[in-house]
């Protein structure tokens, strides 16, 4: 029996029961913007599949990929906590089940914990009757990130949500324009540096002059990005506040940083809490040459490493057809 056309038109659209999303790695702080500035970079990513369930809870069905030993309890997991916060804020009667596919190592300085919660939120958001804006997901991402780092800072989750270079304050996200030719070389040595340990290295007194110098450098970097003037960035991309305190935690850091500068980097520093090191370059060829030199510097310390070269204006988290399809792409 055929349904009349009028009846078909009145039928509500079929609601999605599952969705998958990908969130790319990030460079937190970008040297001069501690806890408030970051950008995403293609090359490594986390993928999360979220399924709508009738039970009013959030549960983790499985964790796969380069990291498999993570908390299964949703409240102790960045992705799980982000969805718990979403459910509570919206008063949802249904719950979520998620599967994590880790492509970003934890303790790498590449936003591994942030990527899981952002991908989970983007996927879960697609299952809502009225999906929220990316900016509206920000607070829930901060809740998830706090599980791993112990604090609500958006320098990783912000750029993952919006893409590109982003200022992430307590309540606001602002995307900063960056010339499309500018590239980042990110080198990740095969050593773990936990975020909490990296933050512990910052405990102590700071001189007022350090804050003034760092503020000036941040202003120059932002102005250089807005105006597309590499020389302003080159003058400002120098971390005088955080890098000196964390440098001892990164093996052979001085040599790795110098390798980037020797290959025409506008600036180089520690990515996030480390141990990864990044450099910004005006052209891709310079970034590729620097990445090899930076890897060689880590090799001098007996460390293997992975390198990623991609535009600074990196991709935002996005929905994907399925986990399997994205991994075959």
Q: Can you tell me the distance from the alpha carbon of 171 to that of 178, in angstroms, rounded to the nearest whole number?
A: 23
Residue 260 backbone phi and psi in degrees, to 5: -65, -45
Report the pLDDT value the prediction gives residue 328, as an integer from 0 to 100. 40
CA 18, 22, 24: angle at the middle one, nearest 5? 165
Structure tokens at 118: 């952002």
Report the pLDDT value the prediction gives residue 152, as an integer from 0 to 100. 84
Report the pLDDT value the prediction gives residue 14, as an integer from 0 to 100. 61
CB contact at 8 A, 127 and 50: yes
CA dihedral over 316, 321, 323, 327, signed as positive or negative: negative
Q: Can you tell me the distance from the alpha carbon of 143 to that of 148, in angstroms, rounded to the nearest whole number?
A: 10
CA dihedral over 279, 107, 80, 323, signed as positive or negative: positive
Report the pLDDT value the prediction gives residue 1, as an integer from 0 to 100. 43
Binned at pLDDT 50, 70 and 90, residue 9 comes out as very low
pLDDT in tens, 228-262: 999 999 999 999 999 999 999 999 999 999 999 99
Residue 197 has pLDDT above 90, yes or no: no
pLDDT in tens, 309-319: 999 999 999 99
CB contact at 8 A, 167 and 100: no
pLDDT in tens, 247-306: 999 999 999 999 999 999 999 999 999 999 999 999 999 999 999 999 999 999 999 999
Residues contacting residue 182 through CB under 8 Å, at least 6 positions apart: 230, 266, 280, 281, 282, 311, 312, 313
Q: How far apart are the first and last CA of the chain?
A: 42
Residue 212 has pLDDT above 80, yes or no: yes
Buried b or exposed e, range 302-314, using 16+ CB within 10 angstroms = ebebbbbbbbbbb
Range in 51-55, 109-113, 196-200 with the lowest mean pLDDT = 196-200
Mean per-residue pLDDT for 98-126?
A: 95
Nearest one of 136, 130, 233, 132 to 176, comparing CA atoms: 233
| Average of per-residue pLDDT values in the chain | 92
Q: Can you tell me the distance from the alpha carbon of 157 to that of 21, in angstroms, rounded to the nearest whole number?
A: 14
Residues contacting residue 61 through CB under 8 Å, at least 6 positions apart: 51, 97, 98, 99
**Which DSSP letter does residue 251 get?**
T
């Amino acid at each position: 029996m055929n349904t009349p056309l009028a009846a078909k038109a009145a039928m509500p659209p079929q609601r999605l029961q599952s969705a998958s999303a990908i969130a790319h790695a990030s460079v937190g702080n970008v040297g001069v913007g501690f806890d408030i500035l970051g950008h995403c970079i293609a090359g490594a990513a986390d993928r999360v599949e979220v399924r709508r369930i009738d039970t009013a809870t959030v549960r983790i069905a499985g964790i796969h990929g380069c990291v498999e030993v993570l908390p299964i309890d949703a409240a102790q997991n960045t992705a799980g906590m982000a969805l718990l916060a979403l459910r509570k804020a919206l008063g949802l009667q249904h719950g979520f089940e998620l599967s994590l596919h880790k492509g970003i190592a934890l303790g790498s300085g590449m936003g591994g914990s942030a990527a899981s919660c952002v991908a989970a939120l983007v996927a879960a958001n697609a299952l809502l009757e009225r999906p929220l804006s990316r900016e509206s997901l920000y607070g829930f991402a901060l809740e998830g990130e706090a599980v791993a780092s112990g604090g609500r800072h958006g320098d990783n989750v912000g750029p993952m949500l919006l893409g590109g270079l982003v200022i992430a304050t307590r309540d606001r996200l602002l995307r900063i324009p960056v010339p499309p030719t500018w590239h980042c070389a990110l080198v990740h040595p095969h050593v773990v540096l936990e975020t909490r340990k990296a933050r512990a290295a910052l405990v102590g007194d700071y001189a007022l002059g350090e804050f003034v110098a760092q503020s000036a450098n941040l202003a120059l970097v932002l102005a250089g990005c807005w105006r597309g003037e590499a020389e302003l960035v080159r003058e400002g991309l120098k971390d005088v506040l955080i890098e000196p305190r964390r440098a001892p935690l990164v093996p052979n850091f001085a040599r790795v940083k110098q390798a980037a500068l020797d290959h025409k980097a506008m600036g180089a520093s520690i990515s996030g809490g480390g141990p990864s090191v990044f450099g910004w370059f005006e052209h891709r060829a310079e970034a590729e040459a620097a990445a090899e030199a930076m890897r060689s510097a880590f090799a001098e310390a007996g460390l293997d490493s992975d390198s990623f070269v991609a535009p600074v204006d990196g991709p935002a988290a996005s929905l994907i057809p399925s986990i399997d399809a994205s991994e075959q792409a």
